[in-house]
Amino acid sequence: MSSSSAAQSAKPPMRDALVAAAFRLFLERGYEQTTVDDIVALAGVGRRSFFRYFPSKEDVVFPDHERCLADMTAFLSVSEPGHEPVQRVCDAARLVLRMYAENPTFSVQRYRLTKQVPGLRAYELSVVWRYERALADYLRARFAGRRDGILRADVIAAAVVAAHNNALRSWLRSDGEGDAGTAVDHALGYVQSAFGQDESPRVAAPQAEDVVVVVARRDAPLWRVVQEVESALGRA
Amino acid sequence: MSSSSAAQSAKPPMRDALVAAAFRLFLERGYEQTTVDDIVALAGVGRRSFFRYFPSKEDVVFPDHERCLADMTAFLSVSEPGHEPVQRVCDAARLVLRMYAENPTFSVQRYRLTKQVPGLRAYELSVVWRYERALADYLRARFAGRRDGILRADVIAAAVVAAHNNALRSWLRSDGEGDAGTAVDHALGYVQSAFGQDESPRVAAPQAEDVVVVVARRDAPLWRVVQEVESALGRA
DNA sequence: TCTCAACTGTGCACTGAGTGCCACTGACCT
DNA sequence: AGGTCAGTGGCACTCAGTGCACAGTTGAGA
């Protein structure tokens, strides 16, 4: 209590102080070996205050996902009909990457933690699921009326999330070295190329001998190239 | 009564009695309003015995998933090189559907329960995640050496699971009416059409500093072409 | 038959997460 | 002054889950 006055210097540090104290203890003696009482003792606050800021002990490990999810839904809600749907959800997924990239060291620490604590992994799944739901709901609205619109929305959302997480996790595994942006672009590109907008893809290949030649500038944006390839192949 | 299908050795009635008692109470007064003490009191057994059969209160809601997951990994482990990978994981996913279809009424009750209890939904996610991991691990092995093998494995596994769950849930939402098999076949067919067999395009070596030429067959899968373009552009 | 296991079911005490309620404190308003 | 109000802390409580010890059963083997 005596040294607690230093911890709460500014007004909103309560939440941040709890996160900092929690992570210090989690990294030093493990998540399950750390009780909420330990955290609040180190932060110099009352136990009841912890649950005022975090609904559960797990929430302190993901302090910024609630805001990020709100950002994503806001981003998707301002979409216009001109936006290509799959492109739009890929861009929305990049918002999550940006959040991770804002605090690389914190993100890496959290990754190591969640990787080895089953309870945290389960919690992370529920977080990821909410992102996926946001993407799927957006796509469902955009695909409304289309044949198998709901199915396609759910599958594409799942694929986008999986690709994003694949790139994100390989970046986290490398201690935040390298460019996470390009890795995610590459992964999302794979998904985007797999789910074009056409419905009748490769069932009929009558002119199988035909070839198409694409010439692209090396510094061209990848998706501009993809669009060209797509239209050149007659898929647009 | 009707459970005469002894796939395994005769199970002690203890476990089944606990499941029956639990579901009676869950349906009658809700999951969170039912304590473990209530369950064991109704089943007429000691409280400690509950946790001998189920590691947690949530596990009693998914009593057969552990066996189903074992079935799936066994199914995938006997795969031969002749099996087409995507086809194989789709068949593996159908094993889960079969388990649900074995007990339609139970599956529908559980679906309603998990839909409205956040804790159960989170638990279900961790269950589904293990299925997805099993599929992804199989595909990773099959795609070993291929470019972006891990990425493709993860994305396809996620897509297969999403398609399967989409069809499964719409079947559960209809109280188990209709044919779940055809719905799942249709959903998985969509995934297979998106990630089907590949035909490699050919990439010409870059002839100048700033352009790249790609020659692709018209019936080549779009993603395959994009991969070549990407690597040709130097975007590993 | 006796005995030594191994397994199953049970009771008990304990830890720790999460909640409800109330009392306190300081800021800000009138 | 008095008074509302939000943030905070303290306390007691419920309940999930665990460790431990003990009783009953079965099924060998001497």
Tell me the C-alpha distance between B235 and B229, whole Å: 9
- The CA-based dihedral angle spanning residues A163, A169, A174, A178, taken in that order and rounded to the nearest 10 degrees: 40
Q: What angle do CA B16, B20, B26 make, to 5 degrees?
A: 140
Residue type, B148: D
A11 touches strand C (CB under 7 A): no
The one-character DSSP state at B61 is G
pTM over cut 0.85: no
Given a cut of 70, whether residue A12 has pLDDT beyond it is no
Contacts of residue A109, Cβ cutoff 8 Å, sequence gap at least 6 = A23, A27
Q: How far is CA B82 from the centre of its chain?
A: 23
A219 CB near a chain B CB, below 8 Å? yes
Q: How far is CA A203 from the centre of its chain?
A: 34
- CB contacts of B125 in chain A (<8 Å) are 122, 125-126, 129
CATH placement of domain A4-57: 1.10.10.60
- CB contacts of A121 in chain B (<8 Å) are 126
Residue A215 is predicted with a pLDDT of 59
Top-tier CATH class for B62-194: mainly alpha
pLDDT digits (tens, 9 = 90+) for B149-172: 999 999 999 999 999 999 999 999
Q: Calculate the angstrom distance between C1' of D21 and CA of B48.
A: 13
> Which of A79, A188, A191, A95 lies closest to A142 in space, CA to CA?
A79
Tell me the C-alpha distance between B102 and A213, whole Å: 53
pLDDT digits (tens, 9 = 90+) for B76-130: 999 888 899 999 999 999 999 999 999 999 999 999 999 999 999 999 999 999 9
- CB contacts of B196 in chain A (<8 Å) are 202
Q: How is residue B104 written in tokens?
A: 């339609």
Residue A10 is predicted with a pLDDT of 40
User: In this predicted model, which residue has the larger pLDDT, A209 or A98?
Assistant: A98
Tell me the C-alpha distance between A68 and B92, whole Å: 35
Residue A164 is predicted with a pLDDT of 98
Tell me the C-alpha distance between B153 and B133, whole Å: 10
Domains A4-57 and A65-197 share a fold: no
Q: How is residue B153 written in tokens?
A: 């494995």
Put simply, the answer to whether A234 touches B212 (Cβ < 8 Å) is: no
pLDDT digits (tens, 9 = 90+) for B186-235: 999 999 989 876 544 445 544 444 555 666 656 565 655 655 565 555 54
Give the strands of the sheet with B211-217, arranged side by side.
A211-217, B211-217, B202-203
Put simply, the answer to whether A230 touches B218 (Cβ < 8 Å) is: no
> Which of A172, A9, A226 lies closest to B225 in space, CA to CA?
A226
What residue spans define the domains of chain B? 13-58, 62-194, 202-232
Given a cut of 80, whether residue B40 has pLDDT beyond it is yes
Tell me the C-alpha distance between A198 and A221, whole Å: 22
Q: Which fold has domain B13-58?
A: Arc Repressor Mutant, subunit A (1.10.10)
Determine which of B133, B147, B166 to mutate to test the interface with A (most A C-beta atoms within 10 Å).
Answer: B166
Question: In CATH, which superfamily holds the domain spanning A65-197?
Answer: Tetracycline Repressor, domain 2 (1.10.357.10)
Tell me the C-alpha distance between B115 and B124, whole Å: 10
- The per-residue pLDDT of chain B, averaged, comes to 86
Whole-angstrom CA distances from A177 to A112, A174, A196 are: 15, 6, 32
Tell me the C-alpha distance between A30 and B89, whole Å: 37
Give A233→chain B minimum CA distance, Å: 6
Tell me the C-alpha distance between B122 and A127, whole Å: 9
- pLDDT-based confidence at A202, cuts 50/70/90? very low
Q: Stretch A130-153: mean pLDDT, rounded? A: 96
Tell me the C-alpha distance between A80 and A87, whole Å: 12
